[in-house]
């Protein structure tokens, strides 16, 4: 049970999904109350939505001013907002109009449960994030935070990446393959699971390091304590590029002498729970 009754909402829909078009007026209707402030992204002002009682704001402003962000989309839409929301300690409530929607809380036919936001009958699930730094000649040239995973992978289909992994500067393993995934418990049910990695319950707060299509029978996944500093060096045969991607975002090209350092982030994502389903029940329903 939460103490805060929500009064200000930033609604963040993925309008590339047809389901979001249908759900948006319904979500606004569920949240509309005297004294409640509803905000939508500024770029939606010209859309023929017929919503006259909402304010259109830049996404940064919406994240800063709201008490809760309601995300209409799938896990990808949640991830796009996760870092900015975590910086403001803004809770996220996901409504699934994607495919699996593992991080989303509600299905389109469950919008009535949002009434609990006004009665305090909700909880907030605090999720570990990862922080990635690319060091080049000892200097940080790239930094970002991930809720799901950090992937180092080849950019060319017909090349192999040579990967070396260390923990706290102690060599752990090396292999050749398509790359490597470093996943949070939240991300362990995403790309990491597809690559054969372990499922980690969120409260464990470990980091999973998972080879992608390794060319070695002995290549295994590792689960590290959250205090570890994971270092990755990667180079592609023939000089082809290797890329770092955070939560599926745009790749950053890394060089053979670069070091990718991954640690637990100071940021945390806050996911609103209205149904009280356990992690294991969600796992069985979604996967």
- 3 labelled ligand-binding: no
Contact 258, 135 (CB under 8 A): yes
Nearest C-alpha neighbor of 149 from the set 130, 134, 133, 163: 130
Low-confidence residues of the chain, pLDDT below 50?
A: none
Q: Would residue 75 show up in a list of annotated catalytic residues for this protein?
A: yes
Tokens of 217: 């029978």
As a CATH number, domain 128-267 is 2.60.200.30
Domain boundaries, the chain: 8-121, 128-267
**Model pLDDT, residue 1:** 59
**Model pLDDT, residue 3:** 63
119, exposed or middle or buried, with CB in 10 Å at 0-12, 13-18, 19+? exposed
**Model pLDDT, residue 101:** 81
- 126 labelled ligand-binding: no
pLDDT tens for each residue of 106-160:
999 999 999 999 999 999 999 999 999 999 998 999 999 999 999 999 987 778 9
- 264 labelled ligand-binding: no
d(CA 219, CA 131): 24
Instruction: Report how far apart, in Å, the C-alpha atoms of 142 and of each of 92, 145, 232, 258 are.
Output: 26, 11, 14, 11
199, exposed or middle or buried, with CB in 10 Å at 0-12, 13-18, 19+? middle
Distance of CA 264 to the CA centre of its chain: 14
**Model pLDDT, residue 51:** 79
Contacts of 92 (CB under 8 A, 6+ apart): 68, 69, 71, 78, 81, 82, 85, 269, 270, 271, 272
- 184 labelled ligand-binding: no
Catalytic residue among 34, 75, 257, 258: 75
d(CA 90, CA 169): 35
Nearest C-alpha neighbor of 236 from the set 155, 116, 131, 128: 155
Q: How many CB atoms lie within 10 A of CB 228?
A: 19
- 192 labelled ligand-binding: yes
**Model pLDDT, residue 80:** 95
The domain 8-121 having CATH identifier 3.40.50.10330: the answer here is: yes
Whole-prediction pTM: 0.93
């Amino acid at each position: 049970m939460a103490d805060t009754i929500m009064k200000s909402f930033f609604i963040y829909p993925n309008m590339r999904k047809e389901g979001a078009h249908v759900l948006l007026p319904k979500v606004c209707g569920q949240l509309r109350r005297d004294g409640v402030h509803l905000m939508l992204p500024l770029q939606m002002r010209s859309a023929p939505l017929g919503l006259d009682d909402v304010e259109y704001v830049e996404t940064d402003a919406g994240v800063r001013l709201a008490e809760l962000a309601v995300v209409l989309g799938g896990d990808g839409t949640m991830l796009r907002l996760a870092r900015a929301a975590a910086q403001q300690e803004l809770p996220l409530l996901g409504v699934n109009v994607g495919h699996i929607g593992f991080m989303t809380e509600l299905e389109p036919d469950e919008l009535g449960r949002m009434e609990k936001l006004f009665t305090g009958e909700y909880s907030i699930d605090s999720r570990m994030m990862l922080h990635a730094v690319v060091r080049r000649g000892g200097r940080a040239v790239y930094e970002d935070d991930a809720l799901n995973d950090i992937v180092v992978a080849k950019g060319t289909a017909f090349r192999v990446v040579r990967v070396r992994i260390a923990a706290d500067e102690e060599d752990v393993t090396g292999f050749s393959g398509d790359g490597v995934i470093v996943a949070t418990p939240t991300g362990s049910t995403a790309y990491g699971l597809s690559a054969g990695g372990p499922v980690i319950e969120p409260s464990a707060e470990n980091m999973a390091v998972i080879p992608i299509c390794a060319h070695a029978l002995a290549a295994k996944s590792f689960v590290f304590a959250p205090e570890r500093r994971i270092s990755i060096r990667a180079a592609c045969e023939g000089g082809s590029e290797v890329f770092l991607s955070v939560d599926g975002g745009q790749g950053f090209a890394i060089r053979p002498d670069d070091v990718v350092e991954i640690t637990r982030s100071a940021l945390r994502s806050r996911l609103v729970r209205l149904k009280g389903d356990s992690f294991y029940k969600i796992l069985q329903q979604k996967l």
